[in-house]
Amino acid sequence: MSVVVRRTIPQIIVALVIVLMVVFYFFYINADVSKGFTTADKALSDWAIVITAIAAIVGGIDILRYHVNQIRKREKRQIVFSCVVIVMEIVMVLLACYALYSGIAITTQPNFQWLYTYLYAPADAAMYSILVFYIASASYRTFRARNPPAVLLLIVAIIVMLGNTSLGAMIWEGFLPLRDWIYNVPNTAAFRPITMGIGFGLIILGLRLIIGKETTWMGRRE
Partner 1 sequence: MAKEEKRKPFGMAHVLYTLLIISVALPLLYPVGLPIGISSTTKDVYNYIENTLPAGSAVLVDLYYEMAARAELEPQAAAVVKHLFEKNCKLVFVSTVTYGPIVFELLKSTASDVFAGKEYGRDYVFLGYVAGNEPAVRSLAESIRGTVAADNYGNSITDYNKLPMMRNIDKAEDFKLVFIVSSGTDTFGWYVRQWYTAHNIPLLFGALSVIGPSIKPYVDAKQAIGMLTGQRSAAEYEVLVGRKGLGLAAMDAQSFAHALILIFIIIGNVVFFATRAKPKPKEVGKK
Partner 2 sequence: MIELIGGWLAAVMIVWIYSFVYKDNVLYRLAEHLFVGTAAGYSIALSLDSLNRTAFGQMAKGMEYWHLIIPIILGLTFFFKYSKKYYWIARYGVGINVAVGAALALRAAPMANIIRQINATILPLWVEGDPLKTFNNWLMILITLGGLTYFIFTFFPKTEGKAGPVNIVYKALVTIGIYGMMVGFGYLFANTIMTRVGFLIGIILQYLQPRFDATVVAMILAIIAIAFAVMKKK
Q: Tell the smallest beta-carbon distance from residue 123 to partner 1 (Å).
A: 8
For residues 178 and 189, give the distance between their C-alpha atoms in angstroms, rounded to a whole number: 16
Interface with partner 2, residue 93, by CB under 8 A: yes
User: CB of 31: closest distance to partner 2 in angstroms?
Assistant: 20
Give the contacts of 19 (CB within 8 A, at least 6 positions apart): 210
User: What are the phi and psi torsion angles at 192 (to 5°)?
Assistant: -65, -45
DSSP-H helix ranges across 73-187: 79-102, 110-115, 121-129, 131-141, 148-164, 166-171, 175-182
**Smallest gap from residue 48 Cβ to partner 2 (A):** 4
174 versus 206: smaller Cβ distance to partner 2: 206
Q: Which amino acid is at 24?
A: F
Q: Does 79 bind partner 2 (CB under 8 A)?
A: no
Whether the Cβ atoms of residue 162 and residue 154 lie closer than 8 Å to each other: no
Task: Report whether 183 contacts 164 (CB < 8 A).
Answer: no
**Subset of residues 86 to 145 that bind partner 1, contact rule: CB under 8 A:** 103-105, 107-108, 113, 116-117, 120-122, 124-129, 132-133, 136-137, 139-145
Q: Which of positions 26-85 make contact with partner 1 (CB under 8 A)?
A: 38, 41-42, 44-46, 48-50, 52-53, 56
Closest CA relative to residue 179, chosen from 190, 187, 191: 187
Residue 44 lies near partner 2 (rule: CB under 8 A): yes
Q: Is 36 in the site for partner 2 (CB under 8 A)?
A: no
DSSP letters along 43-87, please? HHHHHHHHHHHHHHHHHHHHHHHHHHHHHHTT-TTTHHHHHHHHH
The CA dihedral of 132, 136, 138, 142, to the nearest 10 degrees, is: 150
Work out what residue 8 binds among partner 1, partner 2, none; the CB cut-off runs from 5 to 8 Å by kind. none
Minimum CB–partner distance for residue 24 and partner 1 (Å): 11
Contact partner at residue 166 from partner 2, partner 1, none, CB < 5 to 8 Å by partner kind: partner 1
Residues making contact with partner 1 (CB under 8 A): 25, 38, 41-42, 44-46, 48-50, 52-53, 56, 103-105, 107-108, 113, 116-117, 120-122, 124-129, 132-133, 136-137, 139-146, 154, 158, 161-162, 164-167, 169-170, 173, 176-177, 179-180, 183-184, 187-188, 191-192, 194-195, 198
